[in-house]
Amino acid sequence: MCIFCKIVNAEIPNKTILEDENFLAFYDINPARKIHALIIPKEHYDSFDVIPPKIMAGMTEFIQKVASKLEVKKSGYRLITNIGDDGGQEVRHLHFHLMGGEPVGKLVR
Give catalytic residue positions: 95
How far apart are the C-alpha atoms of 102 and 6, rounded to whole Å? 30
For the chain, the first-to-last Cα distance in angstroms comes to: 36
Are the C-beta atoms of 39 and 62 separated by less than 8 Å? yes
Q: Strand ranges (DSSP E) for the chain?
A: 16-19, 23-27, 35-41, 77-80, 96-100
Residue 1's Cβ-side half-sphere holds a number of Cα atoms within 13 Å equal to 11
